[in-house]
Amino acid sequence: MDRLTKKEEEVMKILWNLKKAFVKDIVAEFADPKPPYNTISSLVRILQEKGIVGFKQYGNTYEYFPLLSKKDYRKRYMKEIITDYFDNSFSKAVASFIEEEQLDQKEIDEILKLIKSK
């Protein structure tokens, strides 16, 4: 599976949040100015053709739902980012977040707690 485009990711974030939706429901979730209905309909059909979104048909209307979980998508592309940008090193990735994001002590303690629990 190729990485989703930014627009496809936006639609998927909405579907992951709503769990299932008609195109009009997806459009309603966008901030103003809302994208055209036909644009979102086309994006959803592309996602469906890629096997990322499923649908249930009600006459001429389709209700869409994610086939790919947010967790699975995140896992796949976090691994890709770590490989491409951090020399396949999780420790370099965490160090980068600590340095660049200027995490406060509470966030650092939470990271340490997660590490120790594994």
- Per-residue model confidence as pLDDT tens digits over 20-54: 999 999 999 999 999 999 999 999 999 999 999 99
As given in the structure block, the two tokens for residue 78 are 């976090």
Please say whether the structural domain 6-66 has been given the CATH code 2.40.50.100.
no
Question: Helix, strand, coil % (nearest 5) of the chain?
Answer: 65, 10, 25
- Domain ranges across the chain: 6-66, 70-117
Q: What amino acid occupies position 8? A: E
Residue spans of beta strands (DSSP E) within 1-118: 53-58, 61-66
> Nearest to residue 15, comparing CAs of 68, 51, 77?
68
Determine the length of the chain: 118
- Per-residue model confidence as pLDDT tens digits over 70-101: 999 988 888 888 988 899 888 888 888 777 77
pTM of the model: 0.78
